[in-house]
Amino acid sequence: MVYFHTDYLQVEHHQSANVLITQWYGGCSSLQYRQALIQVIRIIKELQVTNAVLDRRLLKPISPDDLNWTTTVYAKAYTRLPLKKIAVINSFNQETERQQQQLYALLKTCIEVRTFDDLTSAYDWLTAVPA
């Protein structure tokens, strides 16, 4: 089910596996970026999501102020969520990827994070039944 959709981001929840998928479609304003991430946090809390795919392939680089906000305010809020595993799909943009690695390094302290090049592999890792 799609919970949030704009020109730059779509957030959908796969209820059967309790997986949230966020897919960025490009750049947006600073305000839109921050509001979108706050909305993602609200959805995760409301649905008690334990696994998420962060598809950042098309996300554009963010401003230094937004990067600081992401690695301080947003990262701190993210660590309080019920998330157990996050599958990250690498960005096509090298600068975006470098920026996002700062966030993932912070999240790895309390959430299992792995990176992937495609959505199928990311989703499969999240939904695999442990042996």
Query: Which domains occur in the chain, in start order?
Result: 2-126 (3.30.750.24)
CB-count exposure of residue 12 (10 Å: 0-12, 13-18, 19+): middle
Query: Mean pLDDT over residues 101-115, rounded?
Result: 83
User: pLDDT of 6-49, one tens digit each?
Assistant: 999 999 999 999 999 999 998 899 999 999 999 999 999 999 99
Query: Mean pLDDT over residues 47-67, rounded?
Result: 94
What pTM, to 2 d.p., does this model score?
0.90
User: pLDDT of 69-100, one tens digit each?
Assistant: 998 899 889 888 999 999 999 999 899 888 88
Token pair for residue 117? Answer: 């090049």
Which one, of 43, 56, 42, lies nearest residue 8 by Cα?
56
